[in-house]
Structure 1
Amino acid sequence: MTTGVERRAGVRSRAWRLVAGSAAALAVVGGAVLGVAGPASAHNYLVASTPKIDGTLTALPDAFEITTNDKLLDIGGSDSGFAYRIVGPDGKYYEDGCLSVDGPSMTTKAALGDSGEYTVEWQIISADGHTVSDQYTFTWDAPAGFEPATGSAKPPVCATSQDDGAKATDDGTTGSAAGGGDSTASDALFIGAGGIVLVGLVVAVLLLLRKRPAPAAEDADTDED
């Protein structure tokens, strides 16, 4: 004959199995959410550039370009935090001060000076909202008959009017919208939904832990015997 103590032990055992199952589900969902949040929060990194890193340029390109692995994040539609500098061997700046941000890429135009080693200095806002900056060098081998530009002692400010869609800033960074908001917003919504599921599972576990089955009357009588 099963005693009241044995029945209560069986109830507790089933309750703890439910708790263990909920904890396992919590771990699975948590791992899935963290698995998504990890890549979403990774910094952008350079995947291509014009000119190439440590490359040799023999003709002036239509535009200097930095391309990353993910969409760049525009803040308030102003390209605040973005910068693109072309520094010559004489220490002068040869970019025109205007930049354009489109998806994962940022571009600017430059009129180079004499042949020599130039440095590209760039800064972007990564898809996760963090600032990423770096620099690299390339060699400019001017073609015959090329007329070198004089350069500027200070970083130029974009001369394009705001009516044309460019907005000059004190540090000379300008351009169009980045187009990285949709990706970031969808990531945030997905992670938020996963967070709601996690909260629900935590509440369920806490309720199971707090719930204590009341002993039946016959159990009490059995215990008194």
Structure 2
Amino acid sequence: MAALALAGLSLGAAAPAAAHSYIVASSPAEGSTISDVPENFSVTANELLLDLNGDGSGFAIQVVDAAGLYYGDGCTVVSGSTLSMGATLGNAGDYRVYWQVISADGHVVSGEFPFVWAPGDGAVNTPGLGAPPVCGESATEPTPTPSATPEPDEAVAPEPSATATPVAEIDGESVASVNPFYIAGGIIGLLAVIVVIVTVARRQSMAGTDNATPPSSDGEPPADDPGSTTENT
């Protein structure tokens, strides 16, 4: 499990050394069991800490649970002999605090200590992070909120589109699909029938004229056929 990714941080507890700062108090207290989230995670040294730049460079504090998740807001503050960071905690269980400070003589001192988190009623549990928190960024990983499933709208019947007037059909075929040659052929056939009728009628008329007996030159009706017999009454 990774702890502080800073130079000089030791995972073992740092023993007090001559001329170096050492921790005299912490929050939570080393080895304690807490039921409320503290306002801050903090360590307090026996003397003033050396923050030359005034921005906490070289100082660090991290809180990790048994699963390796990180907690806190990542904003370290050096004030006199105390190093602190805003606190958050997740599920109940064992936690460890890793810290690093710069003592008054310029030496880097680091260490760690455990505590147990046993949240009481109403305690706020915050999801842990997979990496050390960064100051100014969200201290928690956002949990996607399932969006409400929209209720299906009432089905709206589509507006009827303009319907074309059907084309009259001839023998199952639309007029538009009839070949124009068929129409021309029908007209020619009809004209042929008319010509035949007129020709026959004229021939019959001429034949009737030829069969009629012309009158005699003196205007007398033609003599009766000698073979015919006139019956006198």
TM-score under structure 2 length normalisation: 0.50
How big is each residue's C-alpha offset from its partner over 1:174-200, in whole Å with a ceiling of 9 and x where there is no partner?
Answer: xxxxxxxxxxxxxxxxxxxxxxxxxxx
Q: Please show how residues 103-118 of structure 1 align to structure 2 within 5 Å.
A: 103-118=80-95
Q: Which runs of 5+ in 2 are unaligned?
A: 1-17, 138-233
Helix, strand or coil at the partner of 1:96: coil
Q: Which runs of 5+ in 1 are unaligned?
A: 1-40, 161-225
Within 1, Cα distance between the matches of 2:111 and 2:43? 11
Aligned equivalent of 2:111, options 134, 157, 169: 134
Q: 2:75 maps to which residue?
A: 98
Q: 1:119 maps to which residue?
A: 96
The letter of the residue matching 2:24 is: V
Within 1, Cα distance between the matches of 2:56 and 2:86? 16
Within 2, Cα distance between the matches of 1:121 and 1:131? 14
The letter of the residue matching 1:151 is: G
The letter of the residue matching 1:52 is: A
Which structure features the higher share of helix residues?
A: 1
Within 1, Cα distance between the matches of 2:104 and 2:44? 13
Residue 79 (structure 1) aligned with residue 53 (structure 2): no
Equivalenced residue count is 120
Pick closer, same or farther for the CA change 1:45–1:143 going to 2, 3 Å: same
Sequence identity, in percent? 44
Q: Please show how residues 4-23 of structure 1 align to structure 2 within 5 Å.
A: none
How big is each residue's C-alpha offset from its partner over 1:84-108, in whole Å with a ceiling of 9 and x where there is no partner?
Answer: 1010122100011001111111111
Q: Please show how residues 144-155 of structure 1 align to structure 2 within 5 Å.
A: 144-155=121-132
Pick closer, same or farther for the CA change 1:103–1:147 going to 2, 3 Å: closer
Q: 1:24 maps to which residue?
A: none
Within 2, Cα distance between the matches of 1:77 and 1:52? 27
TM-score under structure 1 length normalisation: 0.51
Helix, strand or coil at the partner of 1:97: coil
Q: Please show how residues 1-225 of structure 1 align to structure 2 within 5 Å.
A: 42-159=19-136
The letter of the residue matching 1:108 is: M
How big is each residue's C-alpha offset from its partner over 1:74-128, in whole Å with a ceiling of 9 and x where there is no partner?
Answer: 1222211100101012210001100111111111112100110100000001110
Within 2, Cα distance between the matches of 1:66 and 1:45? 10
Once superposed, what is the RMSD of the aligned Cα atoms?
1.4
